Structure 1
C-alpha cells in the first residue's frame, strides 16, 4: 500500500474500482494502518501463544526458547521479509486486490480501529506531536526528480525543456535582461538624430526619451518604420506617431510570472525598473522562450562573438556576457546571486577595478584580465581547469 505510486494510482482509479478503493484507503491512513497492525499483531501474538503451549506439552518447559527462536525465524522469512519484499516490488499486484479484504476488515473492526486511532492521537498530543493532515503536494525539486526518473519515457530534449519550465519560477527577469548600457535610445525632440540612428541601427527596437536618457517615453519598432517606407508615408511626424507606450516590469519578477504577464498584456517586451523607478534593462519574450527551449539559431552568432575558444583550451570572453549564458555554454556553475554578468562577478569578487594581467580564481575557474579600457574590463581569458602549479 505504501510503496504504490500515488500518481499512477490516480490514473488507474478513473477506470479501476480496486484502484479507486485503494486510493480511498490511502486517504485515511489512521484506519488503514490501524486495521493492518491490529490484524498483524493479533496473528503474531496468537501464533506465539500457540507455539508456547505446544512446545510445553510436547517437549516440556525447556523447549520454550528454541521454539520461540524457530517461530521468529519462520515469521521473519515467510510472513515478513519475503512477502513484504515481493509486495514492495509489485505494489499494484498486491495492493489493488488486497484493498477488498482490507476494506471489509476496516468495516468489521471499525470500533476497535477507531479506539486505537483515538488513543494513538492522545498519546502523540501528550508528547507535543500534532496529527496534521497528510500533504500530497510536492516541491519543485521533487518534481524535477520525477522528470529525471522519466528518462526512458520522455525524450532528452523534452525532458530538458520540462526541467527548464520548472526552474522558471527561480529565475528573475534581471538574470536574463539586456542591460541598460546595451540599449540604444534617442531623444524624441531631435529629429535629425532620429534619422541618423535609423541609418546605422542594427536592432529591431529603439528606445525614445525626452531631455534625459533616464526619462524613457516609449519604444519604436523598426518593423513599423519599414512599413512606413513601404507605404511611402515616411515622415518625422508619422514616425513619432508610431512610438509605443513603454511597459514596465519591476525588478525581481520571476520568469514564470512575467511570461504570464506578457500573455495577458499581449506584449513581447518590457523595461525592467529597480526600486527607485530607474530603467536597468529590457526583457523580451524571446529570451524567456530561450530559457525553456534553448538558444535559437538567430542568436548563435552572438554567443560565438562573446566566447572564442583558443588552441590551449582556454576561452577569450567578452565580460559583458551574462553568467547564466556562460554557465550554459561552458557547463560551469558560477554563482548568479552576487552579480548577473561576468564583469559584475569579477568586480564583486575583487571589490575594486582590476589592472591588466591580474588573475583570480572563482569556483575553480581561473580568470585572467586581458584588456581594460576606460576603467572597464573589455576582455578576459578563462580556463575551465586550474593550471598546474
Structure 2
C-alpha cells in the first residue's frame, strides 16, 4: 500500500473535485427557472440539445447529480479509510471519518453550492452536456429511483 499512497491521494482529490462538480450542478439546476433555461437554450445553440434534455424532465438530471455525488463521496471515503488505516491502523478509521466529513461538507458541498448559485448560468451550461452523457450508463438506476420518487410523491 505504501507505494500506492501518492496515487490514492491524487484519486482522492479527483473524487472530491467530482463531488464539488455534482453538488454545484445540483444547486445550479435548482436555482434556474424554466424560462431562464429556455433563454439559455436559444442563446447557446451548441448546448441546446443538452439544455432541452434538462428542461424536458428536471427530475432525471437531479437524480443523476445525486446518485453520482453519493457514489463519488462513498468512493472517496472508502479510499481515505484505506489510506489512513495503512498509516495509523484501526485509529485510521476514525481519522478518515473526521477528515472526510470536513472535506466533503466544505469542499464537496458548501463551497461549490455557494459558488454555483452565484454563477448558475455558467454552471448549467458546463454541466448539462456532461450530465446528459452520464444519463446513458445511469439510466436504469435513475429510471427506478425517479419512478419510486414519483410514486411516493403521489401519496402526498
Please, what TM-score do these two structures have when normalized by structure 1?
A: 0.31
**In structure 2, C-alpha distance between the alignment counterparts of 1:2 and 1:26, rounded to whole Å:** 11
Given the alignment of the two structures, is residue 44 of structure 1 paired with residue 44 of structure 2, yes or no?
A: no
Given the alignment of the two structures, is residue 100 of structure 1 paired with residue 100 of structure 2, yes or no?
A: no
Stretch deviating more after TM superposition (26-35 or 7-16):
7-16
Higher helix share: 2
Given the alignment of the two structures, is residue 88 of structure 1 paired with residue 101 of structure 2, yes or no?
A: no
Task: Tell me how far 1:11 sits from its aligned partner.
Answer: 2.5
**In structure 2, C-alpha distance between the alignment counterparts of 1:11 and 1:123, rounded to whole Å:** 32
Task: Tell me how far 1:38 sits from its aligned partner.
Answer: 0.9
- 1:5–1:30: structure 2 CA closer, same or farther, 3 Å change rule? closer
Counterpart mapping for 1:232-243 below 5 A:
none
Instruction: Determine which structure has greater relative contact order: mean sequence separation of CA pairs < 8 Å that are 6+ residues apart, divided by chain length.
Output: 2
Task: Tell me how far 1:25 sits from its aligned partner.
Answer: 0.8
Aligned partner (choices 71, 74, 83) of residue 54 of structure 1:
83
Aligned residues: CA RMSD: 1.9
Unaligned runs of 5+ in 2: 1-28
**In structure 2, C-alpha distance between the alignment counterparts of 1:41 and 1:68, rounded to whole Å:** 15
Q: Which has the larger radius of gyration?
A: 1
**In structure 1, C-alpha distance between the alignment counterparts of 2:31 and 2:150, rounded to whole Å:** 24
Given the alignment of the two structures, is residue 72 of structure 1 paired with residue 101 of structure 2, yes or no?
A: yes
Show CA shifts across 1:165-191 (max 9, x none).
Answer: xxxxxxxxxxxxxxxxxxxxxxxxxxx
Which portions of structure 1, spanning 4 or more consecutive aligned residues, are displaced by more than 6 angstroms? none
Task: Tell me how far 1:51 sits from its aligned partner.
Answer: 1.5
Question: 1:51–1:67: 8 Å Cα contact kept in structure 2?
Answer: yes
Show CA shifts across 1:249-271 (max 9, x none).
Answer: xxxxxxxxxxxxxxxxxxxxxxx
Counterpart mapping for 1:1-389 below 5 A:
1-17=29-45, 18-19=47-48, 21-125=50-154, 128-129=155-156
Higher strand share: 1
3-state SS of the aligned residue for 1:2?
Answer: helix
Task: Tell me how far 1:19 sits from its aligned partner.
Answer: 4.8
Task: Tell me how far 1:66 sits from its aligned partner.
Answer: 2.3
Unaligned runs of 5+ in 1: 130-389
Question: 2:86–2:92: 8 Å Cα contact kept in structure 1?
Answer: no
Question: 2:37–2:55: 8 Å Cα contact kept in structure 1?
Answer: no
**In structure 1, C-alpha distance between the alignment counterparts of 2:42 and 2:150, rounded to whole Å:** 33
Task: Tell me how far 1:86 sits from its aligned partner.
Answer: 0.8
**In structure 1, C-alpha distance between the alignment counterparts of 2:31 and 2:133, rounded to whole Å:** 21
Show CA shifts across 1:219-241 (max 9, x none).
Answer: xxxxxxxxxxxxxxxxxxxxxxx
**In structure 1, C-alpha distance between the alignment counterparts of 2:60 and 2:101, rounded to whole Å:** 27
Task: Tell me how far 1:5 sits from its aligned partner.
Answer: 3.9
- Count residues with an aligned counterpart: 127
